Structures are given as C-alpha cells and as structure tokens.
Structure 1
Amino acid sequence: MNYIAVSEATYLDGYRISLTFNTGESGEVDLGDLIHRYAIAEPLRNPQNFARFYLDSWPTLAWECGFDVAPESLYARATGKLFPLPQPSNSPL
C-alpha cells in the first residue's frame, strides 16, 4: 500500500476520535493540542463543533472551518508508528 487514508472515524468525547485506517489498523487520537495551536481551528474549541467532522476526498478528517489533519499525522498519533512513504527509485529513466 503506497498511501494511508482514514476509512472510518467515530467521535468519542472532548477532542478524542477513534480512527480506522485503510491498512486495517485502528486507534484513538486526542487532537486537543492541535485545536488550541492553530487559529483556523478556533471554532473547534467548542466540542460540539469539533464533533462535526467529516472525511474529505483524501480521505482524512476535515471540518467546515477549513481545518484538517494529514492522514499520516493521524496514523502516527493513533498507532505510534510512522507510515512508510514510498521511496524514489534509483534506477535510471
């Protein structure tokens, strides 16, 4: 598999979301630190607004205010592992 995507997301409480990835792996993330770090996420500091996420075309978590989180970042937070990105080939063209 050459990419990571969120296949399922369920709101838990506060700033916590349960995620399942296209690899079959799953885990929980707490995004409170990100929500309080970025001005664009200010509307999401209200947990009712935070709970209104959707999966965008990547697919990854996104909100109507324009805030989203890269699927690779979510994967690392949920599983404690980095997703291995494809490496360029060293063969000549």
Structure 2
Amino acid sequence: MANIKSQKKRNKQNEANRLRNRVVRGSTRTAVAKARTAVVEKQENSEELVLKAIIALDKAAQKGIIHKNNAARKKSHLMKKLAASKQG
C-alpha cells in the first residue's frame, strides 16, 4: 500500500480508468467475435456486423484503450475475411 498522498490518488485514478477501459475493451472484443463468426458462417448480416466491429475498434483506438495499429490490424483481418467469404 502506498504511503505517499499523490500515489494514493494515482492508484484510485488507475483503478477507475481500468474499470472504464474494461467495459470498452470487452464490448469491442464481443463485436469483433460476432463479426468473425458471422463471416465464417456466411450470415446475411455479416457486413453490418463487420462495420459495427470496425466502429468499435476505431472508438477504442481513439480513446487510447487499444493501440491504433492494433485496431488497424484487426480491421484489416476482418475485411480480408469478409472479402474472401464473398468470393468463395
């Protein structure tokens, strides 16, 4: 446990930020997982789910919850899978 006043405050801030970020990260993961399964199973609404996942990734990257390159990589993989499922 911290003894310094500023460190106690920083610990409280870190915990609050962790809980806030956790919600966004979890919903982003869910959106990506739903989009992935929709593309693999070739569902009708797969494009819509991919777009929702991309929006969620962009928002998470914009808020600094995930790195922008991480978001870009995941978006790229999703779009590749979507394009491949449309061709084949």
Which structure has the larger Rg? 2
Give the TM-score normalised by structure 2.
Answer: 0.23
More strand by share: 1
Give the TM-score normalised by structure 1.
Answer: 0.22
More helix by share: 2
